[in-house]
Structure 1
Amino acid sequence: MASKVRIVSSIRARVIIVCILLLGCGLAFGQQKKTLIGKVVPDTSENSSVNVQNISARTGTITDSIGNFQILVRPNDTLVFSAVHLKRKTVIINDSIYYGTSYIVVPMEVFVNKLREVVVQPYNLSGKLTQDLNTLKLQKDVSAEALKLPNADVKIISQSENKLHDADHGKFFYYYIIGAAINVNKILNRLSGRTKMLKERVEIDKKYQQTQDIRTSIVDSLFLNELKIPHERISDFMYFCEVDKQFQKLVSEGNQLLLWEYLLARGELYRKNNGLE
């Protein structure tokens, strides 16, 4: 009788162990990971990378150039999608996503950073630069000239001017009490034509800088609306003016009215030559 009781107890123990193992396997199976494939669709033409983080499993990835991604997930995991130019988005891996599909599409909205209103009136500013400069109190000048530092008044020359100075500075001959010396460097640069070439380069740089000064002094809206020059053609139009001797003369004279009249006429000729009418 005792032997039968021991056998029954042993069978019950085995059944309990098997049930526990089966339950553990079921739980383990329920927690299996799977690869979720998806695509982020931002509400913008910009397709830069988006960070995809599984904050439950502490893993992550980054979308490719067109928004595709893949990441390991489990039921009830939380995915967070973020990018500088997009609003942060959270997706919960519920049963319909985990068991029902292996591919999801994640739409995201553009993030617009609104700046606070800027008030200029408390500082007695009108918003007009030319008017405010006359009334604005500046701090004490701490420039090199004001501090009277050595060589503060020396003009900073361009690279081309520096090369020309190295090639052609000084006299051809130097006479001393005990003899004389020849400036071989200057003579060779003159004979080889390097000095002439450098002088031409300096002039080209000066013309280019003058053209850039005129370019920056005119707002783009005047090029577009008055001169009718497309934005992508503005640099080419300025070069078209730069090579004209009349343009250089007007720039050197500093007559803004005559220069503007010239630009209007030159703009009409440029549009005609390039089929922009």
Structure 2
Amino acid sequence: MKVILFTIISFLTYQFSISQTEKLIHGRVFSNNYPLNKVEVINKTAKTSTTSNYLGEFSIEVQAKDSLLFFAKDYFFTRLKLTQENIDQNNLVVNMSAKAFELNEVVVTNIKFDPIRISQKDIDATKFAKDNQSLQKYTGVYDGTIANGMDFGRMGKGIFNLFKNDNKDELKKKTSETVFKKLVAASIPRDFFTKELKLKPEEVDLFIDFCDADPRSAKLIENNNILTTMDFLYAKNEMFKKAKSEVQN
């Protein structure tokens, strides 16, 4: 009896260990039946990632209940929670929806203008007024000006006003903040913040500013890795929610 019980336990343990072993799963990514190239496929649970090829094909190691995230520029990000059935079939098919681009309204109007007629008298009057402005023409004395020239004094003043309030440290800080926000905008879809981080739409910009204020955001710019950026955003999200609850209380 003990031998039979031991055999059953060993068998169940073996089956459990097999079910917990990562397996390589294959799949394809489409949009309107068109394969998508260079889609970031991220196993959020295992912290691994890969990229689809020009046929939309990808392969990644997974386990049951792992969460796969699919990112592509100009497409809404897609999330898929794997089941054992998905792994056994080993043929994932993921469809991504393209983002809609809003165009400003263009109004085309057919407008006809009456032709402008200029008399010889008007031409002579304009020429006389222009010649009359040149002191050198009638007196032979050069007044130091350039006819129709650029106002370099005004240009210099404008450049001075542009930089007079910014020292090097402040300018470097502003540039760094701008680059971080551009990095987030280029690599992280907008709906990631509302669907994955569970932020309200009106909180997204405030959360990005909250992350931007962290000096560690500069390291993300150096690495430029979407998985590292996501980990940073997940960690900052916990801090953001904690800070928000403290303010409310």
- What is the TM-score normalised by the length of structure 2? 0.38
Greater Rg over alpha carbons, structure: 1
User: Greater relative contact order: 1 or 2 (C-alpha under 8 angstroms, separation 6 or more)?
Assistant: 2
- What is the TM-score normalised by the length of structure 1? 0.34
